[in-house]
Chain A
Amino acid sequence: MLLQLKNIFKWVNTGGQRIFLLKDINLEVEEGEFISIMGPSGSGKSTLLNVIGMLDTFDEGEYHFLDESVHTLKEKYRSNLYKEYIGFVFQSYHLLDDLTVAENLEMPLLYKKVKGSERKALVADILDRFNIVGKKDLFPSQLSGGQQQLVGVARALIASPKLILADEPTGNLNSQQSEEIMELFKKLNKENGVTIIQVTHSEKNAAYGSRIINLLDGRKV
């Protein structure tokens, strides 16, 4: 089992009132799964994804990732765990504007303190795999949305994570571009065994996954 959420609660206090963002979430994810999270706007999809990605904390419950209990881990260990095993893909790509495609790809490796020669090799490798060698010296603003998201996915993958978390990865793309990205996910999942959890509004995209989780008002339905 890759990860397990047990009775997760998350809330914020505003004006003396407690508002629940996540309510009693239980979830088990096996390695190699491809899961889609769906639900209306404001139902807590992004919040759940961020909790799984350890970007956000929760207030109650247990979270086990591989053999570690995330809820008891210190910040430093948590970030090591996360650097090692998780990659993120965003709706608005979130590439660094001032860096070229190659430099964007290299960034996670820098923070993981991968050696220079190995970095070069990994970047060259992924550029090749994604067929974007010709774009390596361009800046994000010189790419189309689909190409940017391609780079976004490549960046999430470069450190070979076990788990990819994607928050509406095709939200800003047209249908043809969407399809390309979804095909890519499918291939990664099938051929490389990468576990994928995506948030999506589209039934069509959700169908690429092996399982769908529906959220409503922070609760699994």
Chain B
Amino acid sequence: MFKNHIKVAWRNLWANPLFSIINVLGLSLGMAIALVLYLFIGHELSFDNLYKGESNVYRILLNTDGDSFSQETWAGAPNALAPAMKTDIPNIKYTARILKHGFGTNANVKVGNNIFLEKELYWADADIFDLLKVEIVLGNRSDINAPNSVALSQKTAKQYFGNTEAIGKTIEIDNRQKMEVVAIYKDMPKNSSYKFNVIASPKATYAKNLYWSNASYETLVQFNTNISVPEVERQIQQLVDKNVEKENQWFSFSLQPLERIHLYSAEYSDSYAARLGDIQEIKNLSLLAILILVIACINYMNLTTARSQKRSKEVGINKTLGAVKRTLVVRFYIETALITLIAMIIGVVLAVLALPWFNYLSNQELDPSLLLEPMSFLAFLVIWAVTTLVAGSYPALYLSGFSPKSAFSPSYKQGGTAILVRKGLVVVQFAASAILIVGILIIYQQIRFIGNQNLGFEPDNIVVVSVAGINSQTGLDEIAQEFKGLGQVTDVALAQGFPGTGVSLNTLFKDREDRKGLDIQTNVSDPEVLDVLGLRLLAGTTLPKNKQENDTLIEVVLNKTAVDYLGYTPEEAINKKVFINREVRIVGVVDDFNFTSLHTPIGAYAFTNNDTEYKGYALVRFGNYSPDFLNQLERTFKAVDPETVFDYSFLDKNIEKLYEREQRTIRVGLIFCGLAILVACLGLFGLAAFMAEQRKKEIGIRKVLGASIFNVFKMLSTDFVKLVVLALAIAFPIAYWLSNRWLQEFAYHIEIYWWVFALTGLVALAITLFTISFQAIKAARSNPVKSLRTE
């Protein structure tokens, strides 16, 4: 019996190759998507697997009080916190503070005569090796405690020293600190949120002076036994009360379990974890995968039952021959299982082929060989079984339910509800596709808008060169001078930072009575910075050029927002004294410009000639770009500082990076949009085939009455156009609402134009007509003699 079932199923598959191909293709696509996302989600969930079950390792989060700073959660804590916790709070086994080099910049590492640009250099307490289970393969754990000692990952040691022994050698960081290599550790796994290439001992740096004011140190704590989180958080508060005056307490602390760092940190600023995921993204993608699979299943049902006229006869005959309903149900399920199995095999192949592409688009490193692991086979099995059950249910129950009489009756026509269900499903599919199309158009426009937005400065034609390796003021002056001497260069300014990067966050007070204050970003810069960035001076002048050695007065150039807070016009503001950490004098006011991403509105900003911060960048504005220009810059740089890697970037490229997430959303969105539309089209195709079959006789009669091919085509298309119009009517308000909500994330955003909807409508209609034309023309051309003869 079973063999017979398989045989019949196989024959049915070949009886109608076009249907079978569409059916299998739709399901394969759905399965391929599900498999790729299975790999992606599996990879994301595997993060920090090493620490699973280590329930008593936590990261300390800092919550700002929303008074002096806006309310946020930071991943960094003051460097004084960890030592204080270790002495005051019982039950602590390890604590470690992590600081990315230069508060988050690249390091210049000199090894012998070679210089390396190291992107993952961290200053961290030695306990980090125990906390994160970093395995030491060479050297002694105890040596790491010594000041000026450094540990390298195996890969990094190989990069720096080749095959020669690394232990005992010296490396020099940013031409300032000589460090001795004391240990080599196993490379951190790919699925570790933290990625340390170099771990340097902070004994000689930040560990010497403890502060409660600078919260740049990511702090991890391990307890001996399980703890009560609220209890420990209370103990930390007591600790803070003991060490920090109430009015300086702009923060409180909370604990985040280590295993939650990877997926639940998207909202926290300034984490040093190199590889963060986002639980929301995982949820969205899972939903999407399930949705596409369900749509594929619905298509299968639509296509299978579309042939019901033919199948009903078969059912009727089988029933009169004595088949009971259950046998027929089993039979239809077996047919479905066979098709889904073929679809699964093709799906796996598609997934393997699509993976490199997916990796490229989403910045992942998923390995297709993961599909061959036992767990994956279990996943295949589950997906296969579920798809078979879902996709097979309707055909099996619906078709096997035919009574022999109705199946043979010539005037037999399928019930209204079944048609309504079909139409409903197609409307839903199309509405979903329309929402996706509108969404993609809006995102695309917004990205274009940002690209063309007047930023208030001119980001084009500026090269940013890192000069952090140059230690002396004379060296800095020299390099600025040399750069300026180059033909193409129009202006050069040294600065602490530049738009798109963080500078220092301070508070601006109008006078001693001002209790409120305003967040202000301060950027220690050369006077030329206004010219280099192309900022518009509203009043006053730029920072004074020559500063006297013993001149302790600090000058600032404020932006319009800052001056507005003070309540001055730009002209009034000149020569006024205000407070930013200390008393400063306003010498100039510039128009507002977007110094962070357009996600946030413009805040207060100040250029200052204070010397508290180091000017780590040379901003070089050039006239014409020639391919040789970068070489010239590098030669010039090397002439002044041969010890440092020439580390440069273009300012406009840096600014683009601020919108990387949106770019990625566009790319991944485009693919899924395309796939969803493709699958929806398969559904439409199925419905068209079904309708043509249903109306075969009617079409025959109409042709006998004189209907032309075009008449019939028009008649069939009108039905679908109505469905699509209905789908659009449902989709547009939803799409409008969703797009609007997304745009609100940007302080500067586009309006939603009506033509976006018009375009979407046109595209949807064009796709519809294209998809159904095949069936409609086939039906219209069919010979009426054939469709009318049967009775």
Contacts and interface: CB of A to CB of B under 8 A. Distances in A.
B702 A107 contact: yes
Contact of A79 (B698, B708, B785): B708
A56 B708 contact: no
Interface in A74-99: 79, 82-83, 88, 90-92, 94-98
B711 A111 contact: yes
Given A56-B785, A92-B791, A108 B701 contact: no
A56 B783 contact: yes
B706 A112 contact: yes
Interface majority SS (helix, strand, loop, mixed), chain A? loop
A77 to B, nearest CB: 12
Query: Interface extent on B, as a size class?
Result: 10 to 19
Interface in A110-127: 111-112
B148 to A, nearest CB: 91
A46 B783 CA distance: 14
Contacts of B698: 96-98
A155 interface: yes
Interface of B: 410, 413, 697-698, 700-702, 704-708, 711, 783-785, 788-789, 791
A56 B706 CA distance: 14
Given A56-B783, A56-B785, A107 B705 contact: yes
Nearest to A95: B701
Contacts of A95: 701
B785 A96 contact: no
A167 B257 CA distance: 84
Contacts of A82: 706
Contacts of A56: 783, 785
10 contacts: A46-B789, A50-B785, A79-B708, A92-B791, A94-B700, A96-B701, A96-B702, A97-B698, A112-B706, A159-B706
A149 to B, nearest CB: 14
B701 A55 contact: no
B704 A111 contact: no
Contacts of A112: 706
A50 B785 CA distance: 7
B784 A55 contact: yes
Contacts of B704: 55, 88, 94
A55 B705 CA distance: 11
A159 B705 CA distance: 10
Contact of B706 (A50, A83, A90): A83
Given A92-B791, A96-B698, A108 B705 contact: yes
A192 to B, nearest CB: 20
Contacts, number: 42
Nearest to A107: B705
A58 to B, nearest CB: 12
Contacts of A79: 706, 708
Nearest to A141: B411
Contacts of B783: 55-56
Given A107-B705, A111-B705, A159-B706, 15 more contacts: A46-B789, A50-B785, A55-B783, A56-B783, A56-B785, A79-B706, A82-B706, A90-B788, A92-B410, A92-B791, A94-B788, A98-B698, A108-B706, A111-B702, A111-B706
Interface in A153-183: 155, 159
Contacts of B697: 94
A112 B784 CA distance: 18
Contacts of B706: 79, 82-83, 108, 111-112, 159
Contact of A155 (B705, B707, B788): B705
Nearest to B697: A94
Contacts of B701: 94-96
Contacts of A50: 785
Of B708, B711, B788, chain A has the most CB atoms within 10 Å of the CB of B788
B671 to A, nearest CB: 42
Nearest to B700: A94
Contacts of B708: 79, 111
Interface in A29-62: 46, 50, 55-56
Given A88-B704, A96-B701, A55 B791 contact: no
Nearest to B413: A97
B719 to A, nearest CB: 12
A91 B705 CA distance: 15
A104 B523 CA distance: 84
Nearest to B781: A75
B704 to A, nearest CB: 5
Of B702, B706, B708, B789, chain A has the most CB atoms within 10 Å of the CB of B706
Contacts of B788: 90, 94
B779 to A, nearest CB: 16
Of B702, B707, B708, B785, chain A has the most CB atoms within 10 Å of the CB of B785
B83 to A, nearest CB: 85
B411 to A, nearest CB: 8
A97 B783 CA distance: 20
Contacts of A96: 698, 701-702
A50 B706 CA distance: 14
A55 B413 CA distance: 26
B774 to A, nearest CB: 20
Contacts of B702: 96, 107, 111
Contacts of A108: 705-706
Nearest to A155: B705
Contacts of B789: 46
A126 to B, nearest CB: 14
Nearest to A84: B706
Contacts of B413: 97
A203 to B, nearest CB: 24
A155 B701 CA distance: 12
A50 B701 CA distance: 13
A92 B787 CA distance: 13
Contacts of A97: 413, 698
A140 B290 CA distance: 46
Nearest to A108: B705
Nearest to A92: B791
A55 to B, nearest CB: 5
Contacts of B711: 111
Contacts of A55: 704, 783-785
B726 to A, nearest CB: 20
Contacts of A88: 704
